[in-house]
């Protein structure tokens, strides 16, 4: 194509580029192997945009999916799994509830282990049912796809992509146990790159660095429980030995929902594209219902409160404490809550089953945002410039909260330990102390000041992989080295060996020289010895 364009005048080419975008738009075909839950919600706008640019997307999902539903901009292919939608919903509810468990540490560890084990078994079973579904795989094989778009948090999409010999684009918020950095061969120095879920920052004390190092040394083994079944499954399906690392490193381009306003600056790789804040793009005007709530809030404005889609209810005592705190501030509070209504709910607090979070945060009357500090919420808070009170519950939420707090853009509270007064005071502080608004506005202006919108960037790189059947020129040669070669241990050993041998020979030569010199100083004895040795 580029050869054909050589003869076209630069003016015509420029015109084409303006109309069609880089290298023009064409109808490609994309296979999507997504992950249910909030992971899907962040990916869907990219698929929609790709559809608008003339591509066809086929989304493959188990028939038990909760969030992945029929939409006009993709074809949904469901495959049967031996569990129901309500089982998946139950795991989501259980995850949400577990955040409010006040168990002793040992019991919490056991419960978490069991929950992860059971949820993981369900997901592996789902993947197994996909990669053993001959009919579905045959139809995908005949589908003429250009690439696979998938979230490698559970690497089923990678197995499918390798089975179909298609390049893969990974779309993710990050992976536990530094698997994302292992998969991209991205250096990850534990001295200033805090491990995920460690609640550490990039400036660590000596003991924090020790802790980070210990996490680094053990994290790979900790993730084995979840990830090793996929390696086994892949080895079986692809009929060769496949490691977790192989599954991860298959991604041609990694679309990472991060940016360096929220996250600490760190080494990166050429095939990692930062699309943090991609979910802020889709804004709509408020519905009449919400417009009315906002307008009636008066000069004090509103506070938006959501603990995310995974938390459906809160223990009654905690809900009442929260309700009491919300009643102490003059703002109108819009609280997304599907649990039973706390009996002490104040007049200023409106419970809703769902709220247009990003649209509400974008309203100039919004004064604060109470959030569980999931990555979606944090980015929406940043891009709309709303100070936050953060109640992290699980996963990376504590890390997110710590980062925002350290930048002076919000206050973090422990949801289990906080009192009603703590929450009310935190809200009053972020609303009334100017520094919080100033800091979040500064972060917002940095976050939004970028050469290209993250959604356009994501679409560009998906199309790039579709156009070029991958991105091998961005794949570092580190993938072809063993761990000891990568760290030059063989080279260091060899050079040390040379130094040792040289030192040894030099030492021996010196010793020999000394003996000679010593011999000259005591000629009689030496001559005698030499004579003796010669006569032997």
Helix (H, G, I), strand (E, B) or coil at 212: helix
Indicate the length of the chain as a whole number. Answer: 536
Q: How far is the CB of 512 from a copy of itself (least distance, A)?
A: 29
- Going by C-alpha positions, the residue among 130, 47, 114 that lies closest to residue 81 is 130
Containing 31, the helix (H) or strand (E) segment is: strand 29-33
Instruction: List residues bridging with 366 in a β-sheet.
Output: 302
Which of residues 54 and 270 has its CB atom nearest to a copy of itself in the complex? 270
Q: How far is the CB of 274 from a copy of itself (least distance, A)?
A: 8
Rounded Cα distance between 197 and 215, Å, is 10
For the chain, report the end-to-end CA distance as a whole number of angstroms.
89
Both tokens assigned to 48: 């929609």
Residues near a copy of itself (CB under 8 A): 1-3, 6-7, 10, 22-23, 186-187, 189-192, 202-203, 206, 209-210, 213-214, 260-261, 264-271, 274, 283, 362, 364, 385, 441, 444-446, 448-452, 456-457, 460-461, 464, 467-468, 473-478, 480-481, 485-488, 490-492, 494-495
The one-character DSSP state at 473 is: G
Task: Quickly list DSSP for 71-87.
Answer: -TTSEEEEE--SS-HHH
**Radius of gyration of the chain from Cα atoms?**
30
Which of residues 40 and 274 has its CB atom nearest to a copy of itself in the complex? 274
- Going by C-alpha positions, the residue among 61, 67, 237, 75 that lies closest to residue 154 is 61
Residue 443's region, left for phi above 0, alpha for psi from -120 to 50, else beta, is alpha
For residue 370, report the phi and psi dihedrals to the nearest 5 degrees: -95, 120
Q: How far is the CB of 440 from a copy of itself (least distance, A)?
A: 10
Which of residues 121 and 214 has its CB atom nearest to a copy of itself in the complex? 214
Both tokens assigned to 447: 């976050």
Q: How far is the CB of 535 from a copy of itself (least distance, A)?
A: 48
For residue 63, report the phi and psi dihedrals to the nearest 5 degrees: -75, 0
Which of residues 13 and 522 has its CB atom nearest to a copy of itself in the complex? 13
For residue 333, report the phi and psi dihedrals to the nearest 5 degrees: -110, 125
Q: How far is the CB of 436 from a copy of itself (least distance, A)?
A: 13
Q: How far is the CB of 441 from a copy of itself (least distance, A)?
A: 5
Dihedral of CA 96/99/105/107: which sign? negative
Which of residues 144 and 364 has its CB atom nearest to a copy of itself in the complex? 364
**444 within 8 A of 271, measured Cβ to Cβ:** no
Q: How far is the CB of 195 from a copy of itself (least distance, A)?
A: 13
Q: Which residue has the tokens 């919600």?
A: 41
Contacts of 522 (CB under 8 A, 6+ apart): none
Which of residues 113 and 260 has its CB atom nearest to a copy of itself in the complex? 260
Q: How far is the CB of 248 from a copy of itself (least distance, A)?
A: 17
**238 within 8 A of 155, measured Cβ to Cβ:** no
Q: How far is the CB of 525 from a copy of itself (least distance, A)?
A: 45
Which of residues 130 and 275 has its CB atom nearest to a copy of itself in the complex? 275
Q: How far is the CB of 105 from a copy of itself (least distance, A)?
A: 23
Contacts of 282 (CB under 8 A, 6+ apart): 45, 358
CA angle 408, 414, 415 (to 5 degrees): 120
Q: Which residue has the tokens 């995310």?
A: 308
Which of residues 364 and 523 has its CB atom nearest to a copy of itself in the complex? 364
Helix (H, G, I), strand (E, B) or coil at 237: helix
Which of residues 236 and 456 has its CB atom nearest to a copy of itself in the complex? 456
Q: Which residue has the tokens 């990678």?
A: 158
Q: How far is the CB of 358 from a copy of itself (least distance, A)?
A: 11
Which of residues 477 and 524 has its CB atom nearest to a copy of itself in the complex? 477
CB atoms within 10 A of CB 383: 22
Which of residues 227 and 461 has its CB atom nearest to a copy of itself in the complex? 461
Q: How far is the CB of 172 from a copy of itself (least distance, A)?
A: 18
Which of residues 94 and 245 has its CB atom nearest to a copy of itself in the complex? 245
């Amino acid at each position: 194509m580029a050869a054909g364009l050589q003869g076209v005048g630069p003016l015509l080419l420029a015109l084409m580029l303006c109309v069609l975008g880089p290298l023009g738009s064409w109808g490609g075909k994309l296979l999507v192997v997504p992950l249910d839950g909030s992971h899907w919600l962040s990916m869907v706008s990219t698929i929609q945009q790709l559809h608008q640019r003339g591509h066809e997307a086929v989304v493959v999902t188990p028939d038990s999916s909760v969030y992945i539903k029929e939409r006009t901009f993709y074809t949904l292919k469901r495959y049967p799994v031996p569990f129901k939608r309500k089982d998946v919903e139950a795991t989501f509810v259980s995850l949400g509830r577990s955040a409010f468990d006040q168990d002793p540490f040992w019991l919490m560890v056991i419960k978490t282990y069991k929950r992860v084990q059971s949820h993981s078994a369900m997901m592996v079973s789902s993947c197994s049912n996909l990669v053993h579904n001959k009919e579905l795989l045959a139809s995908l094989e005949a589908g003429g796809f250009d690439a696979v778009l998938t979230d490698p948090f559970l690497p089923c999409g990678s197995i499918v992509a390798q089975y179909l010999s298609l390049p893969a684009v990974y779309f993710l918020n990050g992976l536990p146990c530094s698997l994302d950095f292992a998969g991209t061969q991205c250096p990850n120095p534990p001295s200033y790159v805090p491990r995920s879920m460690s609640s550490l920052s990039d400036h660590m004390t000596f003991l924090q660095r020790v802790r980070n190092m210990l996490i680094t040394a053990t994290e790979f083994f900790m993730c084995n429980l979840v990830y090793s079944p996929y390696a086994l499954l892949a080895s079986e399906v692809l009929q060769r030995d496949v490691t977790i690392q192989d599954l991860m490193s298959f991604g041609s381009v990694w679309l990472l929902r991060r940016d360096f306003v929220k996250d600490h600056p760190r080494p990166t790789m050429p095939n990692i594209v930062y699309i943090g804040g991609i979910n802020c793009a889709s804004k709509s005007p408020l519905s009449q219902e919400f417009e009315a709530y906002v307008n009636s809030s008066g000069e004090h404005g509103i506070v938006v409160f959501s603990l995310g889609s995974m938390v459906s209810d809160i223990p009654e005592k905690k809900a009442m404490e929260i309700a009491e705190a919300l009643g102490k501030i003059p703002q109108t509070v819009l609280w997304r809550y599907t649990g039973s209504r706390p009996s002490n709910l104040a007049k200023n607090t409106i419970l809703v089953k769902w709220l247009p979070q990003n649209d509400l945060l974008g309203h100039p009357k919004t004064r604060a945002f109470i959030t569980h500090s999931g990555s979606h919420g944090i980015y929406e808070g940043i891009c709309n410039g709303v100070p936050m009170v953060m109640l992290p519950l699980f996963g990376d939420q504590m890390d997110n909260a710590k980062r925002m707090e350290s930048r002076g853009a919000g206050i973090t509270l422990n949801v289990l330990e906080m009192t009603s007064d703590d929450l009310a005071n935190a809200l009053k502080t972020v609303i009334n102390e100017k520094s919080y608004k100033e800091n979040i506005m500064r972060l917002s202006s940095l976050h939004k000041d970028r050469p290209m919108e993250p959604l356009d960037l994501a679409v560009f790189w998906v199309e790039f992989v579709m156009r070029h059947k991958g991105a091998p020129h961005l794949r570092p040669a580190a993938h072809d080295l063993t761990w000891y070669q990568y760290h030059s241990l063989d080279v260091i050993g060899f050079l040390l060996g040379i130094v040792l041998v040289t030192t040894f020979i030099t030492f021996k030569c010196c010793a020999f020289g000394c003996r000679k010199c010593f011999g000259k100083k005591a000629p009689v004895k030496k001559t005698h010895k030499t004579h003796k040795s010669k006569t032997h």
